[in-house]
Structure formats: structure tokens, C-alpha cells
Structure 1
Amino acid sequence: MDGRESYEFTWVGKREAIAEAGRPTTKTLRPDLDESVDFDKSENIFITGDNLEVLKILQESYLGKIDMIYIDPPYNTGKDFVYSDKFQKTDEELKEDMDLLDEEGRQVVGLTKNEKSSARYHSDWLNMMYPRLRLARNLLKDSGVIFISIDDNEQANLKAICDEIFGEENFVEELIWKRRTTPPNDRSIGKNHEYILIYSKNQEKLSLGLLPRDSESLSRYKNPDNDPNGPWVAADLSANGKGGRLSLSTVFPIHSPIDNKDYYPPEGKSWLYNKEKIDNFIQEGRISFRSTGAPFLKRYLSEVRNGVTMPTILLDSGNSQVSAKELDSLMERKSLLEFPKPTKLLKQLLQVANVDKSISVLDFFGGSGTTADAVMQLNAEDGGNRKYILCTLDEEVADKSAAKEAGYETIDQISRERIRRAAAKIQEEHPELVGKQDFGFKAYKLDSSNFKDVSAQPDQFVQADLFDSVSNIKEGRNGLDLLFQVMLTWGMELSLAIDYEKIVGAEVYDVDQGSLMACFEDEISEEVIRHIAQAQPLRAVFRDSSFANSADKINVSEIFKELSPHTKVKVV
């Protein structure tokens, strides 16, 4: 055997795609209060920006914390766009190579058309997906699961990179979703399906849920004889003989009091139980007899699983026509976005992903916002408390499109409006949930670091740093900007509750009831410092320019040593 040969899946650019997944980001997330809904209380997150950078930013705060990921990435049909990740190039080279400037010199945000005629048609798509999936895997809990929608253009390649990233042993299943009610009739074989690949983080720790039983299946259970065990259905009492051999202990007559006859199992079969158990069941009323005299087993509703298994072929999970009408009706405008997924499909995936109704869900190809809509709908239906994190690009809508005519400039604007409208619709239909269910979201936008020198970000808590820091904050960045970058750097979740308090005119932030307290005013009085120290937070942070001189900084250190010696203090 030639020792140089081995089985591997590779393509042009793979080495750089792997390296890109490990490169740190210099970006941060800035809160967007104007676009948010119930920012102070909501635990849902909506992020606008390149999802590769966003996934890197979320690594510290959400490492191993996500229960379910669903993504509907570009399918690489030759007509759609893929994110352009050109490694080791300057901004000028990137714009020139990828035609990222329009005719008026404006930059086209993060996308480039990937024609099938390109020599790197598949490679460019793989280079886009590989680092994102590597980073996404890190965010999943050990019990977590990822669902990925795809079609035939890249299904095989997606399966190959997922086998590499998640491990072949963690492949769960491939679902076939019927996306069209009828196949297209302009060809010999009309494709009317897509795929959904499912992978776990750790197959041994995965615990999938069931789909709820429909009302029709539940209506079969009756209780005409007032059985104390509750509603039941008549079930077959016989079973096939294993291996073609029947056990003599389960082939015997059952005497029926209805017609005073003995009944045997059908030829080639046996009873489900031995004679002793059958006799006990008859005494208990678990075995009854039909009007003809034949025995049957009562299968009680209380004994069946609380749900049904999801099939691998999804024929009744909504389709593209349903999803288009769903979005059009909600937005009161036709064709704002192409190819949205139906909420019914997403709700089924949410139900199967985990038996817990309080799971965290990530969708970093957020598109039209179907995932958020489905989360809110399902919570309203079953009393769940699921939370979502959505990320999408601020990709400009096409000129002369329905979206442009409706006044939308970018895709993320449509996504947020869809979520707002979906929330309003659910609250209108379920007024009892108003004030009880989370219908809001915290909006964030990807941006450059708040610090001029990105190497000097706040990544350590040491009292000595109080004197070593030099003001490094960019102009135009406010206290909330700084607060959230500090939170992300220190691995705190974006959804944590934040209380605001005015202390002698200074705004003080309290994150998660004392996990972190901060004040970024231009001037901070000793009264404010003492107020924060007396609260004894785990961590406290201030901006360097708040203190006129080193004597003021020494005073801060002495106050915390006196009132809260265990608080970790940082100046940025």
C-alpha cells in the first residue's frame, strides 16, 4: 500500500478556512436601543452583522450554552450569494477581487455572487461554511443538536464537512422535507424536496423530544365502560413468533365469556403474554372481549408515549407556498423575501430538539426571522420559555424589489419588523400572555472595537491595572457600548438583566444583580464609588478618564479595600 495515500475531504482554501476559525476577532457588539423591543427585560437577542465575526464574539459568553442551532444557509445554487471570506488580504484587495463596490463606489456588505461557472464554485461555499460550523459547534451544549437546511447543490459536501467537524458518530439523521406540494412539470423528474441534516454535539448525551399527538389520534381513545384506568383503544393481543419459532408458553386458549368459546392466536402467531399474565389481565379488566367474542388488549392513553416520533420524510410540515403566504400576510406585502421557511417546520424541529421547553436557540443565518417567530408561537402554545439568538446581515435589498418599494433598505430591517409583527399577532390572539411571555428582543450591531488599541481590551481583573490603564476609548462610544464589550470580554451573556440607577447624577449599571457594576461618567464622585463598593459586586469597572489623577485612582482602590476587598476592579 502506498503510504502517501489516505482518505480525506479537502478543497482549495481548506487550510485557511481552518485557520480562520481560530483567529481572534477585533470586533464587538454595540446595543441598538432604537431597534430593540423591551431592551431592559427581554432575553432574546437579534444581531446585525457578519455571522463569522459574531460567532467569534460569542465564544466566551456562550461556550457550551446553546441547546439547539438551526441554520438555513445559502444553498449555492449559482444564483444566490455567499459570504465572501478572503483570507490574508487587505480591504482594498478584497474589494477589488470580489467586486465589493457598486457603480457609485459604495461597498456591498459581505456578500458576493458565486456562479457555477467559477472554478472555485464549491470551494468558496465550503470556505464560507467550514469556520462558521467549527465555531458553532463550540457553542453547543454536550447535549445540543444542530439542524441545517440544504438542497442537492451542496448536500454531499455539507455532510462531509459536518462528519469532520461534529464527527461521523454524531450524525443523527437526514430529514427530507417536502417543500413543494407538486413537482415542477417543466422537466422529466420534478424535484419537490430539500434536506435537513441533524448532528449532535455528543450522541451519548443527546435527548431528543417527540412531536405532539394530533387531536385525531387522541380522539381514538374512549372509555365506554368507565374503566378506572382511563380512555383506551382496542389493540391486537397477538404477536409474531420470533425467528419463525413460537414459544409454547404463549400459545394457549383464551376462553371468552361472550360466546363461551376458546380462542387461539392466529396461525403463526402467539399471544403477547404467558397464561398467568393473561389471566391476571382478564381479572383486572385490561383484556376484554368484542361482541363477537374475540379477546383484545386495552391500550390505555396513560401508557402511551406523550408524543410521536418524527419521521424522516416530512410531508406535513408546511411548504414553500405556505411559508410565502405566511410571511406575505404578516407583513401585508407580497414577496418581501424569497424562500422563507414555514413556522410549522421550525416548531417541529424545536419540539424534537429537546424535551425542555426552556431551551436556547441560535440561528446565525437569520434571514426572514422564521426561527424567532416559531419560538414565540410554540411558547404561546405549550407555555414554554425558549429563547433565541438571531444573526443576519444588513444586506441591501435589490432595487425595484417589493422590499424596496415597501421602504426597507436592508434584510435585517425586514427581519426585525417580522418579529415585531409576529409578537403583536400572538399577543392579540393570546391576550392572557401579555406581560408573561417574552415578546421582545435586544438588538445589537457588529462594529469595530470601542477601544483605539484593540490589544488593550479589558481581559483581566487585577487591582494593579487600576493604575496602569490609559484612556483608550474611541470618540462617540457611550456607557452601554463599553458595558457590553466588557461583558462579552468577560464571558457574560448578552441577555443578562441590567438595572440602571442614578447616583448623584451619575448613571450606574448593575448587571445580573451584582455580577458586575459599572460607571462610565466623565467624572465620578467618591459618593458614587462608595455606593458601588457597598453593594459588594463581584466585579466593578470604570473608565480611566473619569479620574483626574493617580490620587483619585488610589482613593478608589482604598475604598474597595475597605468596603469590598473581594471585588475585582478594572479601569478601561
Structure 2
Amino acid sequence: MHTVEPGDPETHSKDLVAENLEQLRKIFPSAFTEGKVDFDALRELLGDAIEDGDEKFGLSWFGKRNARRVALRPSTATLLPRPEESVDWDTTRNVMIEGDNLEVLKLLQKSYANKVKLIYIDPPYNTGKDFIYPDSFQDSIRNYLELTGQTGVDGGRLSSNSETSGRYHSAWLDMMYPRLTLARNLLKDDGVIFVSIDDHEVHNLRSVMDEIFGPENFVNAIIWQKVYSPKNSARHFSEDHDYLLVYARNADKWTPGLLPRTAEQDSAYKNPDNDPRGPWKAGDLSARNYYSKGTYSITTPSGRVITGPPPGTYWRYSEQTMREMDSDGRIWWGRDGSNSPAVKRFLSEVKQGRVPQTFWPYSEVGHNQDAKKELLQRVKFATSDSVFDTPKPVRLLRRVLTVATNPAESDIVLDFFAGSGTMGDAVMQANAEDGGNRRFVLVQIPELTGYQDFPSVAEITKARLRSASETVISAQGEAEVGFRSFSLGEGNIVRWDTTQQDFEQQAFEQIENVRQGRSDQDILFELMLSQGLDIASAVETRVFARIHVFATGGGLLFACLPPSDSINKGNVEEIAQGIIAWRDELEPETDVTVFLKDVAFADDVAKANLVAILEQHESPFVVKSV
């Protein structure tokens, strides 16, 4: 049995630096000396691909180096389950997380790496106002708790970013860079990210995303018409649009979904000859590209001879193919049979949709005023002020879902600037209408609002999700609704603090090494994150010898976390055999890990017996203690 110690993988989020080094070692083992990278050797292996010049193309700002480091620094925080704040906790696969998205993205690296199909974010625009994200990363989780008023201080400290600041753009980029870096790791190979942005930072954001995702994976910049009438008070121009920057994880593997065809498109198809195959539209039979069999004369049904295609062009099909198509009634010669031939393209044979365009008018996807009305319908504020100046309309995000997800797949949709929760609302509505299986993961920092009815933005997010769940169920009946609520917090297991001078006092305090006030369920979900299991996974509980045992991940993880001294020589056998039988029933395909709380054992004999039974089974368990 391995006892989890400080520094073990279970005690922090994924170590991205270690992972990068391991990938590099696999490709260039000769570039390592005594476990360290030999950059001289690496330069030789890479040859002319190394850029040695002082001047390099790209966006640079003061603080960029630290922004990279922040993304790579592991987190020791955890996500605490909040069933009482949730809807359909036991059955839903949706997740809402209250916390700083930088820390949360780090915690999701093991469980959701390469699993997210769509990321949509609407980050705070750099408008010269303050935005509330931690600006000190020496102890990021403690900094976050102080920032949001969770550690006895007033909270609400802001990251100043006024337009008069010399770091106006840098402060915003410091905030965005590490989050986008971590987000990319979560995307599937055929995944895509949409980022809402305005004119103030679109140029800088494009440069940053080129660096993180690669310029070859830039797909398009979509223009969204966000207002329905011009602002006559504008000094120069009325700003009527925002952008959505679209980047694929791998542009060669991502294909956008088609949008529903419009009535206007279908109205172009007629049936003047009553063809039994239905409405059709005439298509040109000439082409500009050279075709060796594309020059011949044609005799129309009326007897008129057409010596060849128009000058400078060629018939699209060979003479033999043209005759076969005419025999099949696929050539239109005009009402009197003497026109130049045209091919009949039937409505029933065209794509069942239309290719997305880069201009999204408000008539199709809504505008800011629509979004405010939708929010007020979902959330009943005590005042008319909804806190949000520019929320996004549901129709806009429904368009994103149509383009970027497949209803038939269990696509994961991530929004780590969740705001009022519009994306969660849109996902539930989309699933209810098309029978889809999409699921969402939303993250929102509990920014203080100053209102008693909704003290933080995260409370508004959860309120909207609850309302949306109720509305969808009442309108559609069965649908994928609800959400599991989590909050960011310090790790459940108290680790040894090497900076504390009173070692005797610390040893006394850690006889019970679980942080005060934390439950077995809290510890379980921290273990799920550490093992890379989906925190939306079903959790089962069984009782063996009056001891509760958890199983999750389809039997990949078992956890026995009872109070101190509750496992003894009298109940060890029943507990061990119960876990073994349960594992055989679930039939997991890979190694099974069992976590045991160290202080739960009455003595070393009980511990040794339980571990021996599990490890000596024909399908041995990996046993660890916390």
C-alpha cells in the first residue's frame, strides 16, 4: 500500500511541466542529460528550425513570461460538492463550478483533457474598468478566497485596469493567456473554441490565440450584429457589432455543422415540368476548367444544333454522360425544347442544411436587449438592474451549438466565463428540442454584486440554471437538465507545512488529517479529480460491516473513508470481500484503485490484513491511503 505524500500526483493538479518534459523525452531522448534538458543538444537536433535572433515576430508584453509560468504551476485546491445547491444531483451530467477559472481549469486537466468538443467564452472585455480576477499567484487559492470574501475579510478587491494605466493591455493579456493555454489542453482533436470579443482587444486576442492554438488553426472571425438600432449618441460611429474568434484544436479535423435551410433558399426550387422527383433548380452545365471530353456539339429536342459550350468554357460532363442524364430526365431544355442544356438539381438531393456564414445578424441570433429580457424572465431580481450590461442571447449560443456540436454525441461544452449561465440554458433547450445528449461544464467566479437577493454573480448563474431546468421540464417532459454544483476550496487533506516552526503542535493537529468540516463526499470528489475521473460520474454507496464504501467511474475507484479507529480486525474481512465482490460485479476494464483513510484503522494489524486481502486477489487492487 502506498501512502499519499506531499508532492504525489494525488495532492495537486496535473503537472504540465513534467508532462511536457516526458513528451520531449520520448521524441528526443538524446537531448537529456542527468534528467535535465541539454539545450545545445536540442538545438543540434532541431537544426535550422531554431530561431536565434533577438527580434522575433509575435506579440510581446511585460508580464508574458510570468503568464506562461502561472499556467504551468499545479494547483493544490479541490472542488467541493454542493448537492443542496444542485438540481438532479444523482442523475444529471451537467456541472456548475463556483470559483476562479484559472484554478478550476488546472483541476480539470486530468479529468477532461482532450474530451471537450466546444469551448465558448465571453470574457470581460477590456473596457478600461476593473475586472475581478486574482492578481497575485504566490498562493492563488488563498488569494482567491480572500478576493471573494470567503476568509473573513471584506473581499471584492479588484484587478485595476484603468485606461490610464501603463499596463492597460498587459493586465488583460496576463489574465487571458494562462486560461487559454489551459483551455486548449481540454479540447478534443476535432474540438473548437469560440471567443466573444469587441474591437478593443480583438487584434491582441488574435495574436495570442495564434501563438497558443497555431495560426494554421484559425477558422474565422464571425461578426455578430449585437444591437438592433444605431446609437445616435456615439461620438464617431455607432458600435453595432462584436466578434467571435473561432479556432480549432486541429483545423484539418474540425468541420462545422450545417445550419437549417431557409424558406427563401427552398423557394428557388420549382417544378415547371411536374417531375415526380419534386422541385428542382437549373444549374449551369458549362465549366471554365479544361476537360478533354468537354467539347462537342449538342442537338436540342427541337432540332437546334449547339456547336459547343460558350467560348472559353467546356461542357461539365462527357457526351456519353450527357446522353444518360438526358434519358433520365435530368436535363432541362427550356419549355420549347430549344434552350442550351441545364442540369436539374433536385431539392431532395441537396445538402440538408446551409454552410455557416461569417455575418450573424440579430434577426437570426438575437441582440443584447433580447439577452437582458431572457435573463429577467429566468431570474427574478429585487431591482430592475440585472448586474449584466451585455449578456449574450440564447439564440446566439444556440447557433454556436448548431455549428460546433453533434446532437447524437455526448459532446461536452465548456464555458469558463459563465456569467449569467446563458450557455447552460442554451444547452438544455437545444437537447430538449433535438433530443441531443450535449452536456455542459460552467465556471463562474463568485464576484460580489452588492445585492442581498444575489450576493454574487455565481448565485445568479445557479438561479438561472434552476429556472431553465424547471422551464424545460415543464415544456418538454423528459430532457437532459439539472446540474451538479461545486465550489473551489482548499484541499481536504491537511498536508505537512514545512514553513511552520512548531512541529510538535503541527503533528498534534494532524492526528486527524482531514480539514475540519469536510465530509467523506468532499474527499471522494478530490480523489476522483486526482485519478482523472469525470466529476459527473455516478457515485454508488454500499455498506459492509456498518462501514460505508463508495464506488465510482464504473468501478475504477473505490473509497473507504470512515471515522478514526472504525476499521478493526473484527470487520476487515467483510469489508475487503465486499469490495472484491462489488468490483467483480462492475467488471472495470483497467486497474482499480482503492483509497483508504489512514486514521480509520484501529491498528496496523487491521490495515495490513485489509491491504493483503485486496492486493493478493486474482485481479489485484492498487491500494493507497490518505
Aligned to 1:462: none
Partner amino acid, structure 1, of 2:539: I
- The 5-angstrom pairing of residues 205-244 of structure 1 reads 205-218=253-266, 221=269, 227=275, 230-239=277-286, 241-242=288-289
SS of match in other structure, 2:194: strand
CA distance in 2, matches of 1:346, 1:72: 11
SS of match in other structure, 2:469: helix
CA distance in 2, matches of 1:266, 1:381: 49
Q: Is the 8 A contact 2:148 2:446 kept in 1?
A: no
Indicate which of 367, 372, 382 corresponds to 2:424: 372
Aligned to 1:112: 159
Q: Is the 8 A contact 1:534 1:563 kept in 2?
A: no
Partner amino acid, structure 1, of 2:439: K
Is the aligned partner of 1:72 residue 2:117?
Answer: no
Q: Give ranges in structure 2 of 5+ residues lacking alignment.
A: 1-51, 499-509, 585-591
CA distance in 1, matches of 2:221, 2:605: 65
CA distance in 2, matches of 1:226, 1:554: 85
- The 5-angstrom pairing of residues 261-340 of structure 1 reads 261=304, 271-293=315-337, 294=339, 295-315=341-361, 316-332=364-380, 334-336=384-386, 337-340=388-391
Indicate which of 502, 523, 529 corresponds to 1:482: 523
Structure 2 vs 1, CA of residues 557 and 17 (structure 1 numbering), >3 Å: closer, same or farther? same
Structure 2 vs 1, CA of residues 501 and 226 (structure 1 numbering), >3 Å: closer, same or farther? farther
Partner amino acid, structure 1, of 2:328: E
CA distance in 1, matches of 2:610, 2:141: 43
Deviations for 1:230-256, whole angstroms, at most 9, x for unmatched residues? 4332223343534xx897834633413
Q: Is the 8 A contact 1:207 1:354 kept in 2?
A: no
| Percent of aligned pairs with the same amino acid | 40
Aligned to 1:452: 494
- The 5-angstrom pairing of residues 495-514 of structure 1 reads 495-514=536-555
Aligned to 1:342: 393
Aligned to 1:557: 611
SS of match in other structure, 1:174: strand
Is the aligned partner of 1:439 residue 2:512?
Answer: no
Q: Is the 8 A contact 2:141 2:489 kept in 1?
A: no
- Deviation of 1:64 after TM superposition, in Å, equals 1.4
Deviations for 1:340-361, whole angstroms, at most 9, x for unmatched residues? 1111111211222244642111
- Deviation of 1:172 after TM superposition, in Å, equals 1.3
Deviations for 1:113-132, whole angstroms, at most 9, x for unmatched residues? 42111111111101001111
Indicate which of 345, 361, 381 corresponds to 2:433: 381
Q: Is the 8 A contact 1:36 1:441 kept in 2?
A: yes
Structure 2 vs 1, CA of residues 378 and 224 (structure 1 numbering), >3 Å: closer, same or farther? farther
CA distance in 1, matches of 2:518, 2:153: 28
Aligned to 2:222: 175
Task: Normalising by structure 2, report the TM-score.
Answer: 0.79
Aligned to 2:98: 48
- Aligned residue pairs total 539
Is the aligned partner of 1:391 residue 2:443?
Answer: yes
CA distance in 2, matches of 1:270, 1:498: 66
SS of match in other structure, 1:329: helix
Deviations for 1:365-405, whole angstroms, at most 9, x for unmatched residues? 01011111111122222221111100001111145xxxx5x
Q: Is the 8 A contact 1:26 1:454 kept in 2?
A: no
Is the aligned partner of 1:427 residue 2:473?
Answer: yes
- Deviation of 1:326 after TM superposition, in Å, equals 1.9
Is the aligned partner of 1:127 residue 2:179?
Answer: no
Aligned to 2:242: 194
Q: Is the 8 A contact 2:58 2:207 kept in 1?
A: no
CA distance in 2, matches of 1:140, 1:156: 23
- Deviation of 1:54 after TM superposition, in Å, equals 0.3
State the superposition RMSD in angstroms. Answer: 3.0
CA distance in 2, matches of 1:136, 1:548: 44
- Deviation of 1:225 after TM superposition, in Å, equals 6.4
CA distance in 2, matches of 1:564, 1:449: 34
CA distance in 1, matches of 2:299, 2:244: 49
Partner amino acid, structure 2, of 1:341: K
Partner amino acid, structure 1, of 2:490: S
Indicate which of 138, 148, 162 corresponds to 2:185: 138
Indicate which of 111, 121, 140 corresponds to 1:61: 111
CA distance in 1, matches of 2:73, 2:496: 14
SS of match in other structure, 2:300: strand
Structure 2 vs 1, CA of residues 188 and 500 (structure 1 numbering), >3 Å: closer, same or farther? same
Aligned to 1:22: 72
CA distance in 1, matches of 2:511, 2:269: 73
CA distance in 2, matches of 1:366, 1:508: 35
Structure 2 vs 1, CA of residues 80 and 181 (structure 1 numbering), >3 Å: closer, same or farther? farther
- Deviation of 1:323 after TM superposition, in Å, equals 1.5
SS of match in other structure, 2:463: helix
Q: Is the 8 A contact 1:85 1:127 kept in 2?
A: no
CA distance in 2, matches of 1:367, 1:439: 19
- Deviation of 1:69 after TM superposition, in Å, equals 0.7
SS of match in other structure, 1:535: helix
